[in-house]
Structure 1
Amino acid sequence: MASNVKKILSKKSKFHELLQAQVGNEFSASQQYIALAVWFDNEDLPRLASHFYKQALEERNHAMMIVQFLMDNDIAVAIPGTETPINEFKTPRDLVDLALRQEQQVTDQIVALARAAREESDYIGEQFMQWFLKEQVEEVSSMKTLLTIMDRADGNMFYVETFLTRETVGDEGGDAGAPTAAGGAL
């Protein structure tokens, strides 16, 4: 399906370079979420583990959406390595705090991408970034909510587990307006 899309962007730009770097950022975020999920899983906190396993897949899918956009626009793609995730934490709150800071950092990266596309009058790139901007609002909001719940639970992880069983935190990944992920979203 995507291979039939007419390739209309040809020149390499700052936006395209930042977009290529964002592939690595998204894969690194995915790896960090896996590390968080495994930590929670090892602590017998299945709802928190499940939440972060899903987050890891979501970040992987974001990377593959960018890969598909680059391929559709005839821009060479190089899949980068990832940063080593943090694996050691003192408290469960530390993990959610790290997740919030990570989402805030990704938001800054997405804003920089949208700005670069706009400055280069890359209207196609700017339109592509709109979905990611909207997604980051949800990502930061959901991590803030989870951190608030962690603080209210005051160390009682069963309250947090119960909250995650009862409530939906974040989207469920079913946005029909989402860009296509290379190879299909997982």
Structure 2
Amino acid sequence: MSLNLFAAIRNRILYHPTWRDADDFDEIWKQRIELLASFISQRGVVADFGCGMMWLERYLPPACTYLPLDLHRRDDRTVIFDANRDAIPDRPFAIAFLSGMLEYVASPEGFFGQLIERRPSQIVMSYVSTDLLPGRAHRRSLHWQSHLSTREILSRLVGPYRLSRYQELRGNQLFSFEVAQERHV
């Protein structure tokens, strides 16, 4: 395990984030967000689920429009959304962006189900799977509510989507899924 990941884990164990203040967000996450933004290959509205400090906006391709969704209002554009309580808002978007938020979703299966029903053309996401950080007690100490393996993520999304890109960065798995093209025989 890298020293950066270890330090982040230690800090999360000692502090329970409310996601209201800038102190709840680690500047190192910008690197993950910037790299994930480079995975965006579609045009259109990018729904930034759990937008936090809205760092994604500065890294978006010019053909994309930003739609921030979060527990707390970040600016006048923010759509208030709690993935553990609310249905995905009925707002049009082409790309779903999830950076560091899925770990905090109690029912990722339900969230994925809603997301698939919305049929974005691309899902770009990060996740720390149980393959990389096992042990539910340890994960819960980080206040994480979901505990998926890589296989479980793939089994939920591959079918309606195809995995178009994968990379690891400091203990995070980075995925891009694009709508699977129907095959005509």
Same fold (TM over 0.5): no
Could you state the TM-score of these two structures normalised by the residue count of structure 2? Answer: 0.26
| Larger Cα-atom Rg | 1
| Structure (1 or 2) with the greater helix fraction | 1
Could you state the TM-score of these two structures normalised by the residue count of structure 1? Answer: 0.26
Greater RCO (CA < 8 Å, at least 6 residues apart): 1
| Structure (1 or 2) with the greater strand fraction | 2
